[in-house]
Structures are given as structure tokens and as C-alpha cells.
Structure 1
């Protein structure tokens, strides 16, 4: 089924998809996988840099971002389920092809930057265990191509979630790091907003939480999965659970580095996954550090590479009017979509094989995401008003809360335009 299909043509979701445990598994997935992808290799590295440089000072912002993240993605859920159309297609239909191209442009910028960080992270994990990136990157590329080209959406989603759960290894690392509650409380309540370096990383963390490709992905994913309005409550819970989980992982990364590297006054150079593992090795042990850091970054990198490339390909196909469903075989009508998906991985692999500074790239990409937020969230809020019927639109205090919080995030993104140009 194409994401551009009208809701009236979609097959009804089986009754079990709404009212049973088996139904829970049928409905849940889009929110969880997009949130696991949200905590990708770049985000994990950004969080590690945050904990190593500023201790616990970025914990409160991570907590405050949970409701904002949920509210943003919940709108995409309603847009997708109620209209049966992808994000790019709705923008094109309601605002014209020119605005559709603009939205696709922001999506491509975000997706390309993210995909590079994923491949760089995967390469770093291999090198952590002495495996050349000339082996890990081609293997990862082939696997990611196979997941999309040889499977259906539900199968790709399940594989992505299973792989992404490797990120939970950072929770184990946090426990082994032995953080002290007193240090966490005192450090978290000290927020140095007068420091450009802190503000820059704050922007990077905001960009690491709300990313343009997440909106495009989840809206099309609920359509690909064939969810109907009856599934809305459970898909909201799927999204809420994922929003909490992704921030718990980010917090675990920050606490791990803060309790070890920052607390002991170390100033390590964090340019690779190996650098991060080496930084915590004196506190966790050599092999535990390698295994835990490696599992988390590999899991985050692989699930995000799948989600990011699908989001970018779906978004471009939406705007161009191409057929783009994983549930259909490659044919004359869908080959363009699959070609974009394949080229994204191949080009990303080639760039990363030329060697990339992962930490610098990751932080810069997340800051770029923050700068793009005014455009992305502006389109999302406008579509909520124009594309949803009254019975499914936001109402009352909740509506104002969402608009105010999104306005604050968009204002921060605009504020970061000049700040990002300053030395940090």
C-alpha cells in the first residue's frame, strides 16, 4: 500500500489489532523504532561529549524534552492514521509543490548528516575490536539494503527494534560507573547558560532529540502498517513509551561519562567510538567498556541507518509523487523509491570510508537539526490545523501547550543560528 493512498481505500485493521495482546504487537512498533533510532550513534556521541564536558548539567534539559518529543510525534501519528498519507505528500497537497521541495530539502540535509554519523559509528565499533571499516561498512550496507529490498514493512520494523535494543547496554554501563546521587542533584541544578560551549551542546542535544526525519518516518510508518483510527490510543502509548525510553538512554550516557571522566577531571579527546570506550575503561574495565559501548553504538547506528534512509526515501517519493511502499515489490512504479534508498546507503558508506571525525560530525549534525526545527515544526503545526478534521485536531489547553512548547523550541533554533557561528 502506498503512503499516498486515501484512508477510504485501506483495509480495515483486524479486530485483534486493537483489543488483544497480539493486537498490541500489531499496533506498537512505529513509535518504538523511531525513538530507538532517535538515540542513534550521533546522539549517543553527543550525549557522551555532554557528560564528559559538563557533567550532569544537561540532565534537566533531557527530562524537559520528553513531553515535547511525545507531543511532536503524536501529531505525526494522528496525521498519518487519519489521512492515510505521508508527511511530504500532505505538505505538497496543502501548500504546493514548492513548499514540498523545501520540506524535502530539510529532510535530505538531516537524513544525509544522520546517515553519515551512523556509518561512522558502525565503523568505529568495528575498529574498537580491530576490524577494519573496509569490512564493517560494506557488510552493514548489504544488510541494510537486504532488510528493505527483500522484506515487508512489519519485518523491517521488527528487525530494527531488535537491533536497536542494543542501546540498553548504556544503562548497564551507567550502573557500573557508580554515580553518586548527591553529585547528580548538585550537578543537574547547575546550568551554565552563560557559557557558549554549554549552549552549543544544549542545542546539539535538542537537535539530537527532535529530528526532521523522525516526523517523516513515523507518519508514513503508521500508514505502511495499515493502522486505522481505532488504533490511535495504542499508537499514542507506543510513542509515549518510546519517548521515555530514548531519553532514559540519553541520560544513561550522560551519567556514565559524568560519573567517570568528568568527576575525575579528565579531559580526553573524544574523536572516535574507541576514544569513548578508552575514556571509561579505567572505571568499567577494558572488555566491559568495549562490549557495552560497542553494543550501544552499533545498535543505535544500525536501527537509525534503517529509519533515516527510509524516512528520506519516503519523503522524497512523497513530494515527487512516486510509489513508495515496502509492502510492494520493486517494479516500474516503485524503482525510483528503492533507488533513492539504495543510493543513500552506498554514498554514505563511500563518504565514511574516506575517514570522518565522528564526534565533531555528530555534534555539528545535531546542531544543524536544531537550526532546521523552525521549518520542520512550522509545517507540522500548520498541517495539524489544515489536514485534520475537528474531531481529531488538538483542543483547548493541550493545543496551547503544544504550540507554546513548539514555539519555544523553534525560537531556540533561530537563536542558535548566530550562536552556532561563534567559537565553541
Structure 2
């Protein structure tokens, strides 16, 4: 049984970080690592600038998602259910559930493959173990301890910084490509750009951060912002800081993954990587066993962080849609449907690894669903955040509103390009 425990005081900036930090770190999941590895292997450093380009867009839409949870005291799905057509919320939640479950399966499979590369053994057995561990952690560890665990687990991302410093990197060339955009005017370059945007700006992150802000508000004993707008400023400032730190860490790590694979795989003529485990294995003869071990261990660590976020975002969306009792601070017997959704989505993800479904094709279709879903969900988020009836005095205004709509427009263009290409 999950006990509710008081969280010890954390000092300084760390205390202000939470949903945004974990959301940003979860964005660099094994599937994301595979995408960034492929970009580095195929194009070298040429597309590194895309991570800087996407950063302000990520920050804007994730901060807006967090604001919705903080101000209304409800997640995105519940706001949709209360204020928009039932068919809209159900369609979005079903698509989210499909994409998340496929992504969970791919991430767990990548974790199992990475463990097999490290110590040998049965990849499928490791996949099952990782899936069960993720479910048990979400269900039985108290929210205070679980939130702290996820927060500290973000440290594993810096494994990819270590990888870069363990290989020879032409820093002038890498930094030039990072800060000076070079657009590849061909279908492969455009497709890679779409893939990066689709991997970086994903719908499950919107739902997770919004719902977790509701959870954080309850944990801190703070009223929804719309009930006391005069005291909401500190909470909105915390969300902005938290989101900026989380998204910056996410994209900096993505840059280092591109650097690492560009300096090793691309430099040796290896230009095709389909999974994160393949990227790790390809590094071994080129960059040495230490680099391989760090890279593979990072895949497992990021998966342990990302899989619960994927399953949790599905559970929150379903609970808000069907009015189930929800929250990682709830005891199992009081939120059976919520925890059941976490368990089912994770275990179905495990089961996908025992079918004939090609994991690369599964990720492709997951990207298709996310591509279809991202732009309309972002548009709905912007409508919610700008609706005075919902947000009252704290409705979205100014520069962040402009950035939110710009991010939405970019994802519309990316989605169209995905299907055209």
C-alpha cells in the first residue's frame, strides 16, 4: 500500500524544480536517443542547430501546459472534457494512448537490448523486468519519494556529456553547425528535421506536465491560480524557471548525443542507425568499451525515467476523461482505475516486444500518430490558455502567447511535411 509521506525540504533551485525538469528529461527517452543518433550518424553536425531552433518552442508550449494545470487545478484532458465537445477529447485521448503504448514498447525493448549488450542474457526477460519495475515503482512508492527519484534520475542524462568528452571532437566545426543553421534542401534533410521536431515536441509531455502541476499544487497546499490570481505570480514564476531548466537540459543532452554519433559513427562512414541499442553497439569498436558502456547505461537510465512518464500521461488523460480518481499520491484501493491504466499500458508495451511487430516500424507509426496529434493538441492548449472563462484573469497574454501559436504553426508545417515526404 502506498503511504503518503512528507517531503523533506530541499534548498535553493532544486526545490523549485519538478514537473518541468522531469518532463524535459523524459523527452530524451531511448526512442529520442535513436532519432538523435540517426541524425548525427547520417548528417554529422549539420542538423545540430535544430535543437536550438526547437528550444524556445518547447519552452513555450510546455510552460503553457504547466500554467493550465496550475491556474485551473485541472489537467488538459479534464479542461477539454468540461469546455469542449466529448468527441474531441475522446479522439485525442485514444490517439495519445496508442502512441504512448507503442512508445513504451519501443523504449522497454531498447532498454532490454542495452542490458543484453552490457551483460549478455535474454533481451526479452530484461524487457519484462524493466516493465514490471516501472509499474511497481509508480504504484507502490509514495509520490513524494517517487517525484524525488525521478528528479534525481535526470542526472543519468549527463552520461552523454561524458561520451562526448571521451572521444575526439572537432569543437570548432561542431559549434559552428550548432549556431549557424544550414538547411538541407533535399527530402532526407527535411525528413530528419520533421523527425527531430516530432521527437522533441510530443503530446504526452503536454499532458504529463499539466497533470503533474495539479499534483504539485495539491502537495504544496496551494489554491488553483484562478481562485487567487493575486498570489499566483510566484507559482507561475516557478513553472517558468522549472520548464526553462528542464527543456534546456533536454536539448543540451540531445546536442551532445548528435555530437557523439557525428564524431564517431558519421566520421567512420556509418550513416544508418535505427535504434538506440544499435547506436551503442556501433560505438564499441570505434570509440572503445568505456564509451559504449556509458552510452548503453544511459539508454537504460533514460528509459526508467521516460516509461513511467509515458504511462502516467496516459493514465492522467484517461482518468480526467472518465472522471476516475487520479494521482500518484493516491492509495491503490482508492484509484484502482488510474493505476490500472498505468499497469495495462506498460504491460501492453512489454507484450509488443513478443509479437512480430518490427520495433522500427512501430516507432515510425508512433511518430505518425504523434505527428497527427501534436498540432491539433497544441491548438487546443492555446485555446484553453487564452479562454477567459477557463483561465479568468490569468488567461494567456503577450510574448508567451505569440510563441505558443508560433510553436503550433511550426508543428502544423512539420506534420504536413511529414506526410508529403
Check conservation: 2:112, 2:126, Cα contact below 8 A. yes
Deviates more, 1:92-101 or 1:183-192: 183-192
What residue in structure 1 maps to residue 393 of structure 2? Answer: 391
1:235: Cα distance to partner?
A: 2.3
Check conservation: 1:371, 1:417, Cα contact below 8 A. no
Deviates more, 1:347-356 or 1:242-251: 347-356
1:150: Cα distance to partner?
A: 0.9
The one of 219, 243, 247 equivalent to 2:247 is 243
The one of 303, 310, 321 equivalent to 1:308 is 310
Check conservation: 2:207, 2:317, Cα contact below 8 A. yes
Q: Does 1:151 align with 2:155?
A: no
Q: Does 1:178 align with 2:168?
A: yes
Aligned equivalents of 2:176, 2:213: Cα separation in 1: 42
Structure 2 spans left out of the alignment, 5+ residues: 1-5, 223-231
1:301: Cα distance to partner?
A: 1.0
1:411: Cα distance to partner?
A: 2.4
Aligned equivalents of 1:354, 1:389: Cα separation in 2: 45
What residue in structure 1 maps to residue 30 of structure 2? Answer: 41
TM-score normalised per structure 1 = 0.87
Aligned equivalents of 2:328, 2:399: Cα separation in 1: 38
Deviates more, 1:353-362 or 1:297-306: 353-362
Taking a change above 3 Å as real, the CA distance of residues 258 and 292 of structure 1, as seen in their structure-2 partners, is same
- Match of 1:58, SS state, is coil
Check conservation: 1:372, 1:413, Cα contact below 8 A. no
Write the deviation string for residues 280-325 of structure 1: whole angstroms up to 9, x where unpaired: 2234212x13311112111111111000000001101111111112
What residue in structure 2 maps to residue 284 of structure 1? Answer: 287
Q: Does 1:325 align with 2:315?
A: no
Aligned equivalents of 1:355, 1:290: Cα separation in 2: 28
Taking a change above 3 Å as real, the CA distance of residues 139 and 194 of structure 1, as seen in their structure-2 partners, is same
What residue in structure 1 maps to residue 124 of structure 2? Answer: 134
1:417: Cα distance to partner?
A: 2.1
Check conservation: 2:101, 2:348, Cα contact below 8 A. no
Aligned equivalents of 2:53, 2:398: Cα separation in 1: 22
Structure 1 spans left out of the alignment, 5+ residues: 1-13, 420-424
Aligned equivalents of 2:357, 2:163: Cα separation in 1: 26
- Match of 1:115, SS state, is helix
Aligned equivalents of 2:63, 2:357: Cα separation in 1: 35
1:390: Cα distance to partner?
A: 5.0
